[in-house]
Structure 1
């Protein structure tokens, strides 16, 4: 079915208005910032955006503008922005988890070493006590008598 030039211009205006809304982030619930949603918002058949169809050039423009925004770090689709934010957060949390696991491993090793040292020191204390218990007799040497030499009376 052929459409008139006026209808085509009106459709193209709707496509451009829908394109601007989507690129500003005004994505309808359940939609995305893509050609399917663009066609739905403009009330145009999606197949008209492909090949040599009448709205192929607005599709190319839309995809170009969308890619430029993505390269600049702007994500017009709130759902994609949320996915990107969650992926970044997931990466950070995985790094923190790996760091925590490494710290736990280091502390576990330190605890094992400390317990081994304490056990060795305890064994040494017990051994020294046994040794000292066996030698409780202290030998006293006789006191030296001092005699005064050279006293003639």
Structure 2
């Protein structure tokens, strides 16, 4: 069914008004900032936005404006913005976890090396004491008597 030029203009105006609302972040609950929501908000069949259909140029304009906003760091869809924020936080936390794991591995390796060195040093001390006891050729003098000290 063909529509009149007046009806088409009226539809385009509704689409542009809905487009502006969506891009300002006025997204209905449970919906996204996408063509499906744009079509439902403008009360236009979604297929009219594709191919050579009458409102394909408005779909391209909507996608271009949405991309421009996203490139500028603005995401009109709160849900999408939350997803982006949570993904970034998730990546940051993964990096922190990786750093913690690396640091923990380094400290575990250091602990292992330190314990091995302490064990080797202890063994060396024990051996030196045993060698000193075996080679003990020094005679111990008797302790002096108190009367001998006064002389």
TM-score, length of structure 2 as denominator length: 0.82
Aligned pair count reads 141
State the secondary structure of the residue aligned to 2:21. Answer: helix
Structure 1 residues 132 and 8: alpha-carbon distance in aligned structure 2, compared to 1, 3 A threshold = same
Matches of 2:12 and 2:139, distance apart in 1? 116
Q: 92-101 or 35-44, which moves further after superposition?
A: 92-101
Q: Find the structure with the greater CA-based Rg.
A: 1
Which sections of structure 2, spanning at least 5 residues, go unmatched? 142-151
* Equivalent runs, 1:1-153 vs 2, <5 Å: 1-139=1-139
Which sections of structure 1, spanning at least 5 residues, go unmatched? 142-153
Q: 30-39 or 73-82, which moves further after superposition?
A: 73-82
Structure 1 residues 59 and 128: alpha-carbon distance in aligned structure 2, compared to 1, 3 A threshold = same
Matches of 1:129 and 1:51, distance apart in 2? 93
Deviations 1:6-42 (A, max 9, x none): 3322222211111001101112222211111100111
RMSD of aligned C-alpha atoms?
Answer: 2.0
Matches of 1:123 and 1:65, distance apart in 2? 75
